[in-house]
Amino acid sequence: MNHDDLGGGLTGNALYEMVIARGQSDWTAAHAAAKAISSRPITAHRTHANLYRGAPAVAYVLHVAGHRAYTRSLAELDAETVAIVADRLDAAHRRMAGGRPPRLREYDLISGLTGLGAYLLHRGHHNVLDRVLRYLVRLITEPLTVDGHQVPGWWAATDPRDAIGTGRFAHGHANFGIAHGVTGPLALLALARRVGHTVDGQDDALAEGIAHLTSWAQPCDNGSIGWPEFLPLDAYRKGPEPGAAPGRPSWCYGAPGIARALQLASLALHDDAARRLAEHTAFQAVTDSRQTCQITDSSVCHGWAGLLLAADRIASDAALPDLAHALPALLPRARHRTTESAGLLTGDAGVLLTVHTLTATHPDDSRWESCLLLN
């Protein structure tokens, strides 16, 4: 278990303790959690550190805490994070100049610049955030050529595990999920615009993302609508194929995360048709038994907690109340323990934090779910 891992380690547990402490004003457990993290070195490696690992992850948690006891540590980690972002951006622009497709870890939410951008947005580092947003605009709007075929600029050079592709993924793949794919950058661009933070070309990138997601929203064999999780080059070139089996409605790769990104983008550009598609798809994700039967645990990443948190955030902005009315009956399914004890994405900390957030008497103002690009 990594102490500085937000997704599956002690840093995820610390995030839960910080949010609880903010509401209860008892910081005993939160300070103990922070001590458990800081007792060992926190990585600031330019390649390995990201929103979910190392200095940026710990900085994110301390920022959510908002406690004066962490002011000095946060400033140090913050400076390391800004340096990591600058180094990552330089590498990304060198790759772009060479006309090569990226690896997922260059741009995605979990390991890449989208996640680091989410941190910068949460912290209010507007100058550095500008550079990230401009990079994401290029990523979405500037196509690439792979094996003689035009593909989007976010086309991954690797397979879905971000390993060098072989077989059907020899030419890379298109990734649709919010954790690792194009909907992460789309959500960040939309959330930044929502708070008035814009760069040149941002609306063009949002429009491009909306067009892509609406064109790939394919009817499933039971009448619901969904998106592919990822596609190799031959399948991408064929285009949408209606009649597929409905997928698992997970935050990481499924309809809830994708629909939230589409809803945020459509709200930013006042695209009512795309907004209706996003909200209808989210409603189906929580009411269609062929989708919900594929949820086998309560985790945030691919379980009930992630589904319900994403659906709740979509419902808060939805034009119709149907989705909000469907959620209370499903909340008990997120109360079960996971098989992992630590972490936000795969552990009990994420489940407990989600249930706390969805059942709190007073709204939580920490915006902790910024690391999931839901708000």
The pLDDT value recorded for residue 211 is 98
Q: Over 70: is that where the pLDDT of 16 sits?
A: yes
Nearest Cα neighbor of 19 from 353, 374, 276 is 353
Position 53 in a domain: no
Confidence of residue 2 (pLDDT cuts 50, 70, 90): confident
d(CA 350, CA 366): 15
Position 63 in a domain: no
Tell me 102's DSSP state. P
The pLDDT value recorded for residue 32 is 97
Question: Environment class of residue 77 by beta-carbon count within 10 Å: exposed (0-12), middle (13-18) or buried (19+)?
Answer: buried
3-state secondary structure (DSSP) of residue 158: strand
pTM for the structure as a whole:
0.97
- The beta-strand segments (E) located in the chain are 144-146, 149-151, 173-175, 218-219, 225-226, 230-232
The count of domains in the chain is 1
Position 77 in a domain: no
**What CATH number is associated with residue 117?**
1.50.10.20
Report in angstroms the alpha-carbon separations of 140 from 36, 155, 257, 283. Answer: 40, 9, 18, 27
Tell me 294's DSSP state. T
Q: Over 70: is that where the pLDDT of 29 sits?
A: yes
Position 75 in a domain: no
Position 318 in a domain: yes
d(CA 157, CA 296): 31
Tell me 231's DSSP state. E
Nearest Cα neighbor of 282 from 303, 305, 251 is 251
Cα separation of the two ends of the chain: 28
Expressed as residue numbers, the domain containing 151 is 100-372
Position 335 in a domain: yes
pLDDT tens digits for 359-369?
Answer: 988 777 778 99
Position 241 in a domain: yes
The pLDDT value recorded for residue 280 is 97
Position 19 in a domain: no
Question: Environment class of residue 359 by beta-carbon count within 10 Å: exposed (0-12), middle (13-18) or buried (19+)?
Answer: exposed
Structure-derived torsion over alpha carbons of residues 115, 121, 125, 128, reported in degrees to the nearest 10: 50
Report in angstroms the alpha-carbon separations of 143 from 39, 58, 208. Answer: 45, 35, 11
